[in-house]
Structure 1
Amino acid sequence: MDRDDLLKVRALYDAQMRRDARPDSALARVERVGSVVRQTVPGLLGWNGVLWSELDEGNADAEIAAQIAHFGQHARTGQPAGFEWKLYDYDRPADLADRLRAAGFVPEPPETLLVARTDALAGLPVEPPEGITLRVVADEAGVDLLMEAHARAFGVERPRIREQVLTLLRERPETIEAVVAMAGDTPVSAARMEMVPGSSFAGLWGGGTAPEWRGRGIYRLLVAHRARLAARRGIPYLQVDASADSRPILERLGFQVLGTTVPYVWQV
């Protein structure tokens, strides 16, 4: 895709996945309040945060304060008080990152927003490397394997993701595809794809591989597997928030940059 094509895709992404975002679970509530679109989830494990904003120099600080006040209510009701402002490098005003830091937000490592057409990835090989089989995640036992693979790959436990995947499998199975790469009985890599009904984008998440199994094509295999699933569903684009480690691999596979996103986190 050339620059004009990418700008059109970015505008479509902003419209469908940010401004008109849908809740990521049955308990979540997405609402537009003023110039901000946010998601609020009760309980300990949901994702709370700002998905999209349309701000300027005149209203940015007031809107930031309003979101802090809203999510701060959770602290007074026994819920988590932290939330994330998902900032993109093309969001306005230009100094929004500085304003967030001044309000007490802490930036996490940046990620690159990448996109690829599913038909452009149709030719990627889908044969597992020697010693690897793929297991589709369809139940709690499969989710436990997925989480074990993530722990091996990233070195951390992620209970929020476990709860999210279980909830989607139980309540909205048509919106998720998850798979684990197994070396015998050991899960060594895992990934998932999340889809919004009617959207042009399928999001690729996870994709981590245990250190001793890296460099053997498992990551590429999981991308190819999900690309074919998306193509069968008629979804034209794949989207990834890529880490610095995964970005070069994805770009070699044909993904292109739409922008950079930084999670700005606020805690009491």
Structure 2
Amino acid sequence: MTTDTAALLAAYDTQLRATPPAPPPGITHEYEGALLRVVGDFRGFLSGPPDLGLRGRELDELIVRQRDYFAARGEAVEWKVRGHDAPADLTDRLRAAGFVPEEEETVLIAPVADLTVRQPRLPDGVTLRRVTADADMHRIAALETAVWGQDMGWLAEHLTGRLSIAPDDVSVHVAEAGGEVVCAAWLLFRPGTEFANLLGGSTLPEWRGKGLYRAMVTTRARLAAARGVRYLHVDASADSAPILRRLGFHAVTTTTPYVWSPEGRG
């Protein structure tokens, strides 16, 4: 059966982008027109609809106001741009204001029903469990730091905060071998939409290619199905995207973080 990727993209734009998840404690959501500004996380975050409705000087002024807002706080900020966003020169204007693109990811969506037919398979000696304890969130942050080569210590507080405000809407999982966390992932339900987000999915290099990532996807898909979720969404790295497409995900667009940081000024 042919998948209607245009319909998946429309659902992504009208549901996920229009209904951000409730922020954890210490983080606030503010709006300037249709642009969402997230304040208080490890760095600022900006996201809007596919078209903010501004062009030329008005768009430049909006971009500069956001940059200057976070500059006054001494914080970096990410403007999340999707590949189909308008106007076409949005990224040129972001660059002109000092925003720098990071690695492009692929926006992938799959019907949940297509992902629940597989049984999760783990290597001998590996166990998978759902976790809620603060200590486990710190173990996950340590794993993410090791995988990505940058300090991800903020993630422990972020996950703990999400669990504190909406424990039923976050499901965090680890795969362990010999007491060590070797893979971690979480599922974020999105009330008011047909979606849930797959997040994390990081695996230590020596444990890749053993089915842990696929087992994490299947496990979370089954939880989503039990909640009546229709679609799963992932912003996938170049490493993850091929695996997810083999599992039944469909590429609908791309996403690129454009980041301004105080260190990069001038």
Q: Tell which has more relative contact order, 1 or 2 (C-alpha 8 A, sep 6+).
A: 2
Map of 2:39 onto structure 1:
41
Give per-residue Cα distances to partners, 1:161-185, cap 9 Å, x unaligned: 2221010111211221111110011
Map of 1:13 onto structure 2:
12
In the alignment, residue 168 of structure 1 is paired with which amino acid?
Answer: R
1:109 to 69, 91, 103: 103
**SS state of the match for residue 66, structure 1?**
helix
In the alignment, residue 72 of structure 1 is paired with which amino acid?
Answer: D
Structure 1 vs Structure 2 CA RMSD: 2.0
Q: How does 1:154-169 map to 2 (within 5 A)?
A: 154-169=148-163
Q: How does 1:177-256 map to 2 (within 5 A)?
A: 177-256=171-250
The 8 Å contact of residues 24 and 161 in structure 2, kept in 1 or not, is answered as: yes
> Which aligned runs of 4 or more in structure 1 are off by greater than 4 angstroms?
none
In the alignment, residue 211 of structure 2 is paired with which amino acid?
Answer: G
The 8 Å contact of residues 19 and 37 in structure 1, kept in 2 or not, is answered as: no
In the alignment, residue 50 of structure 1 is paired with which amino acid?
Answer: S
Map of 1:2 onto structure 2:
2
The 8 Å contact of residues 89 and 261 in structure 1, kept in 2 or not, is answered as: yes
Q: 1:93 to 1:176 in 2, by over 3 A?
A: same
**Structure 2: unaligned runs, 5 residues or longer:** none
CA distance in 2, matches of 1:47, 1:125: 39
CA distance in 1, matches of 2:164, 2:223: 20
TM-score, with length taken from structure 1: 0.89
Superposition deviation, residue 60 in structure 1? 4.7
Whether 2:92 is the aligned partner of 1:95: answer no
**SS state of the match for residue 17, structure 2?**
helix
Higher mean C-alpha displacement, 65-74 vs 177-186:
65-74
In the alignment, residue 2 of structure 2 is paired with which amino acid?
Answer: D
**Structure 1: unaligned runs, 5 residues or longer:** none
1:59 to 55, 66, 84: 55
**SS state of the match for residue 13, structure 2?**
helix
The 8 Å contact of residues 131 and 183 in structure 1, kept in 2 or not, is answered as: yes
Percent pairwise identity: 39
In the alignment, residue 221 of structure 1 is paired with which amino acid?
Answer: A
Map of 2:68 onto structure 1:
72
Q: 1:81 to 1:72 in 2, by over 3 A?
A: farther
The 8 Å contact of residues 136 and 142 in structure 1, kept in 2 or not, is answered as: no
Give per-residue Cα distances to partners, 1:23-70, cap 9 Å, x unaligned: 432443334423x3212323x6354222435245x6254234324324
TM-score, with length taken from structure 2: 0.90
Q: How many residues align?
A: 262
